[in-house]
Amino acid sequence: MRQASGDDLEGVCALWLELTRHHARLDPHFELRPGAEDEARRLLAAQLGDPDSAVFVLGAAAEQGAGAAPLEGLAIARVDRAPPIHPETCRAEISDLFVAPAARRRGAGRALARAAAAWAEARGAERLEVRVSPHNPEGQAFWRALGYGAHMDVLHRRL
C-alpha cells in the first residue's frame, strides 16, 4: 500500500479503466466513449499532481521496470473545502475504489479505504463521502461493512 506518483500513471490508468468497465456492466450510464482512454489518462495525470487529491495503490512501484506485476488495487480521494456557512468546512470523497478480482476478500479494499481516510483526515476533512450505485451490491455491502451509511438520496430523471 502506497501513495502513487506520476510514475504510476499507466498502472493507475489501466486499473481505472477496469473499474469503469466493471461499472458499465452494471449500468450503461458508465460506458466509455470511443477514445475515452486518452481523456482518462489526462484526468488521472492531473489528479496525481493535485495536492487536494491522492491516489493510493496496491502493488510494486513503476520504477521496478516493465517486468513489475500490474497494480492490484486503487483508491482515489479528494478533499473539498466550503465557505464557512455550516460548521463543516472540509469534507472528502473517495471517488474511485477498485481491487482486482484475484486479490479480493483479503482486506485490500479496507486497507485502501483506510489509507484514503487517514490522508483526508490529515488534511482537515471532517467527513468522507462515497457514491455507490444501487446496482452494485458488492460495493454497497463493502461500504456498509466499513461503517458508511446513507446520507443523501441522489434522484435523477432522463431528459
Ligand X SMILES: CC(C)(COP(=O)(O)OP(=O)(O)OC[C@H]1O[C@@H](n2cnc3c(N)ncnc32)[C@H](O)[C@@H]1OP(=O)(O)O)[C@@H](O)C(=O)NCCC(=O)NCCS
Of 91 and 104, the one with the shorter C-beta distance to ligand X is: 104
Residue 49 near residue 7 (C-beta atoms within 8 A):
no
Q: Which residue is nearest to ligand X (CB)?
A: 109
Minimum distance between the CB of residue 152 and ligand X, rounded to whole angstroms? 15
Strand order in the sheet with 90-99: 2-3, 53-58, 73-81, 90-99, 128-130
Q: Binding mask 88-107 vs ligand X (x if CB under 6 A, - otherwise)? A: ---------xxx----xxxx
- Positions in 11-50 near ligand X (CB under 6 A): 19, 22
Cα maximum dimension of the chain: 51
Counting contacts by CB under 6 A, is residue 138 touching ligand X? yes
Identify any residues that bridge with 56 across adjacent strands, giving them in sequence order. Answer: 3, 75
Nearer to ligand X, 98 or 119 (CB): 98
Stretch that binds ligand X, among 30-38, 41-49, 77-85, 138-146 (CB under 6 A): 138-146
Among 108, 116, 120, 125, binds ligand X (CB under 6 A): 108
145 makes contact with ligand X (CB under 6 A)? yes
**9-19 core/surface letters (b: 16 or more CB in 10 A; e: else):** bebbbebbbeb
Residues 6+ apart with CB under 8 A from 96: 16, 19, 74, 75, 76
Per-residue x/- marks for ligand X, 109-128, CB under 6 A?
A: xx------------------
Contact between residue 129 and residue 107 where contact means Cβ atoms under 8 Å apart? no
Nearest distance from C-beta of residue 19 to ligand X, angstroms: 6
Residue with cell 502506497: 2
Contact residues for ligand X (CB under 6 A)?
Answer: 19, 22, 97-99, 104-110, 130, 132, 136, 138-139, 141-142, 145
